[in-house]
Amino acid sequence: MAKRAAGEGSVFKRGNRWVAQVGSGKERETKYFSTQREANEWRQKKNEQRRQGLNVLGSKIALSKFLDDWLIVVKTSVRPNTLDQYSQIAQHHIKPSLGNILLRDLTPHQVQMLYTSKLEEGTSPRTTRLIHSVLHAALNHALKLGLVIRNVSDAVTLPKVPRKEMKTLDDYQVRQLIQATESPQMEVLFWVAVTTGLRQGEILGLKWSDLDWQSKRLHIQRQVQRIKGKGLVFCEPKSASGRRMIVLGQSTIEKLREYKRDQETTRIHVGSKWKDNDLIFPSPYGEPLDSTIVVKAYKRSLKAAGLPEIRFHDLRHTAATLMLQQGINPKIVQERLGHSDISLTLNTYSHVLPNMQEVAAEKMDELLTLIDVSDELKEIKEAQMKYIVSR
């Protein structure tokens, strides 16, 4: 038997096996090994982890149980739909493969094998990266709590997500879409979508009180989402940068003013059945409008205009592309879209940049190229001479 200094654990032989222990009382950890060397290495490793702040008792938590605890913690800081997505990923993708492994025993190789198996099963690279995002966030929380000494998911290699070809409408096609729209409400809604680049949920969450008619400023403060078991509800914007202010053009203001008068007529006609939520784009009875109704109307308008069928979300891409093509500063485009970082805007719409570079090159050439004014100077000098002679 070989005892160690107090607090550093001990290594001793029991029968044909070597026993290593660290900690004391309820926090004591014990493990059996074939050799004394393995037992000592484990003891030294555990002592180093303790010196780095690892919670010995907490590290005994299975990943499955820890994920459940983590979901309770993040419940107050993410949107309901996001929480539901986290729960689904944990339940169906992470727990079946890794749930029984203790936090302290989880290795980069096990995480890597999870992602590899998912890809082999036909899970898309995008979904696989989403699985990684959830696991990585959970393990970061464990790191902060001192339950692990590193986030093992930092060491894995993630699959590349193929860049999808972006589908947008040009300005002529946008006018065709709006002209083919069947109702005044949808006409204004599509107009707002293209001129602002707002997300669909943000548009459906807009209230008249968000609009300052005089300054033409529109404040984005909420969005409408369908929550399982609750129906359509108001919730926070997608991110902190999603809560923003954008300025509307005069034509947009005029369209909204005319549309508001029509809405007042509808409200009077509905009478007591009207639910006053102050929404700019409500249902026929004043309640939040279901996004499926918007999408169906949008698809009918595309078909009526003879345009290719693209997603409603592509109107947001259309807005960004048209703004950049008009030479609007990318920083302004970022702010209008509600992107958290300008690099996201530039990376997403990099397809527009080559044309902008050509325009920039021509403008810089014009700026620095010397203008030949010799003929103009000659004419001015001759005029001056004639003036002197005539006197």
Residue 318 buriedness (CB in 10 A; 0-12 / 13-18 / 19+): buried
Spacing of C-alpha 332 from chain mean position? 18
- What pTM did the predictor assign? 0.70
Pick the CATH number of 171-352 from 1.10.443.10, 3.40.50.300, 1.20.1260.10, 1.20.272.10: 1.10.443.10
What average pLDDT does the chain have? 87
Question: Strands 29-33 and 211-212: what pairing?
Answer: unpaired
Pick the CATH number of 60-155 from 3.30.420.40, 1.10.287.130, 1.10.150.130, 1.25.40.10: 1.10.150.130
Using CA atoms, how far apart are residues 327 and 197, in angstroms rounded to an integer? Answer: 16
Cβ neighbors of 140 (< 8 A, separation 6 or more) are: 151
Element (H, E) at 56: none
Digit-coded pLDDT (tens) for 125-142: 999 999 999 999 999 999
Where are the domain boundaries for CATH 1.10.443.10 in the chain?
Answer: 171-352
Digit-coded pLDDT (tens) for 183-218: 999 999 999 999 999 999 999 999 999 999 999 999
Where are the domain boundaries for CATH 1.10.150.130 in the chain?
Answer: 60-155
Digit-coded pLDDT (tens) for 232-249: 888 888 777 889 999 999
Digit-coded pLDDT (tens) for 163-183: 777 889 999 999 999 999 989
Digit-coded pLDDT (tens) for 289-303: 999 999 999 999 999
pLDDT for the residue 315 = 95
Residue 11 has pLDDT above 50, yes or no: yes
pLDDT for the residue 252 = 95
